[in-house]
Amino acid sequence: MQYYVLKADELKPGDLKAVKAGDQEVLLTNVDGEISALYPKCTHYGAPLADGVLNGSRLVCPWHHACFDAKTGQHIEAPGIDGLPAYEVELRGSEIWVDIPEETSDRTPNPMAKPEVSNEVTYAIIGGGAAGAYAAEGLREAGFTGRIVLFSAEEEVPYDRPNCSKDYLQGEAPEEWMPLRDAAFYKKQGIVLMKGHRVTKVDPDAQKIEFESGAPVSYDKLLICTGARPRQLDVPGADLKNVHTLRSLQDSRALLKAGRSAKKAFIVGASFIGMEAAMSLQKLDCEVHVVAPEHLPFTHIWGDAVGQRIQEWHRDAGIHFHLGQNVKAIEGNGQVEKVKLENGEELDADLLVMGIGVQPNTSFLPETLLQSDGSLHTDPFLRVQENLFAAGDIAAPPVNGKNQRIEHWKVAAQQGRMAGKNMAGAGEPYEAVPFFWSAQQDKILGYVGHASSPEETIVEGDLDGDSFLVHYVEDGAISATLSLFRDQELCAIQELMHDGRMPKPAEVRNGVDWLNLL
């Protein structure tokens, strides 16, 4: 049924606006005079896309920066799941009318090639995380009709890993929220999921994969996206019961169970996993203590001022800090009972979480392929060498002439998607701007770009207030920005970085209108 929704002169080129078409809310976009009507919510977590930004035909979600084609609704950048339904638009003089079908959906799958039984070419994926899942879909989107086999060491279908330290660990996210897709989707697309298959060796010359058990498997092309494994504390007692790491859904399940009965939990490490675990266990009514060698959380990433502010949020929530300290030993009769610090302090504990970082999970690969940190250098198309690709936490594609490895979930998802497409011959370089988000108590932080050693910060707003932007200057240019509740502006900054149109630091110090710069 057709509905009048808006006067045409109320939607200028570059505008996006949520309107009502009968009982259905739709998103109108104007790309260079071409008006489109789309489903108004992101296919990832349902964010209102009208609060995002429109950059040319790129429609960016305000929450987690999924990107869609504003003309067609097609999904073009993770972490969206499928595209947005598009509705027929008719201009009647000065009026915009939208045709809403009787049966509507909240998503439309991107076009995917149908698998062909006669095509015996096998493309293998090792790694069942976001990179592997998006790569399998990318292969089909780019037209590959052969056999896709995804090997995962876990017993799960690919799932929403960031939630493992947030709502899921707090007991707020049910199990059915966690899978990115159900098993039926993979079956329909001819993607064979081989769960519980731990790889022990890859021979790129022979193009074979070996496993802990079972016969070797041959492949025609291979994507490695095995992610990272948590670092372990090298202290006495690290093998006691109730000493946990937090990386997988299985880890999160075990920690949730332990946290519900624990009274006093210790977190070793004050970075993302450590502080999100601290927040989540505190919400389970544990008394939480954080031990870390640094003097403030996140100081090596975001600087002292931001680190101090984040620590205040956690202190206000009741979390205790023991910073500038290392754990010397963990003691207990079979399970954790006490934590000893290097300064001699002894503290009671019945649960401990190690959040001291991760390292690339690539020990099964030939050393000749690996860099000193265990990563794999790739070309702009995520290719390591002929018929071998890499994506996610283990991959270091070139950025501005320098190979760069970034351990973010959205980065892994988009790299996987592009690696899959390029395995199928798309020839599209990976060019996405890095983005991640972190929940710190009731505050949601977003971060775009990458700064390894910034020489200056520029603050917009008040670090003690309810929202701010912090820009990190490296080599005379803004290379990254941190946001607290300035979502739309952060989307605009990402797109300016994407286009190479970021203003100079001096301009930003004088004040800019980020949305008007697009």
Span 98-120, average pLDDT: 94
Give the model's pLDDT for residue 414: 98
Give the model's pLDDT for residue 92: 96
Instruction: Please report how the helices 272-283 and 249-261 are oriented relative to each other, as an axis angle in degrees rounded to 10.
Output: 40
Span 211-228, average pLDDT: 97
Q: What is the DSSP pairing of strand 435-440 with strand 443-449? A: antiparallel
Would residue 293 be called left, alpha or beta, if left means φ above 0 and alpha means ψ between -120 and 50 degrees? Answer: alpha
Q: Going along 78-164, which residue ranges are E strands? A: 86-92, 95-99, 122-126, 147-151
Collect all residues with Cβ–Cβ distance below 8 Å to 82 and sequence separation of at least 6.
Answer: 43, 75, 107, 108, 109, 110
Phi, psi of 359 (to 5 degrees): -140, 150
Give the model's pLDDT for residue 104: 87
Give the model's pLDDT for residue 181: 96
Q: DSSP string spanning 169-198?
A: TTT-S-GGGSBSS-HHHHHHTTEEEETT--
Whether the predicted pLDDT of 238 surpasses 90: yes
Whether the predicted pLDDT of 88 surpasses 90: yes
Give the model's pLDDT for residue 510: 95
Give the model's pLDDT for residue 500: 97
Global pTM value: 0.96
Q: DSSP string spanning 488-508?
A: HHHHHHHHHHHHT-PPPHHHH
Whether the predicted pLDDT of 254 surpasses 90: yes
Whether the predicted pLDDT of 77 surpasses 90: yes
Q: What is the pLDDT of residues 436-463, one digit of tens each?
A: 999 999 999 999 999 999 999 999 999 9
What DSSP designation does 393 have?
G
Whether the predicted pLDDT of 386 surpasses 90: yes
Span 181-201, average pLDDT: 97
Work out the mean pLDDT of the chain and round it to a whole number. 97
Tokens of 435: 């983005």
Phi, psi of 295 (to 5 degrees): -85, -15
For a pLDDT cut of 90, what percent of the chain falls above it? 99
Give the model's pLDDT for residue 400: 86
Distance CA 281, CA 277 (A): 6
Span 364-379, average pLDDT: 97
Which residues on adjacent β-strands are paired with residue 359? 229
Tokens of 342: 């290097």
Span 267-296, average pLDDT: 97
Tokens of 475: 């080599």
Q: What is the pLDDT of residues 202-215, one digit of tens each?
A: 999 999 999 999 99
Distance CA 96, CA 9 (A): 10
Span 229-254, average pLDDT: 97
Whether the predicted pLDDT of 401 surpasses 90: no
| Exposed / middle / buried, residue 118 (Cβ in 10 Å: 0-12, 13-18, 19+) | exposed
Cβ–Cβ < 8 Å for 19, 36: no
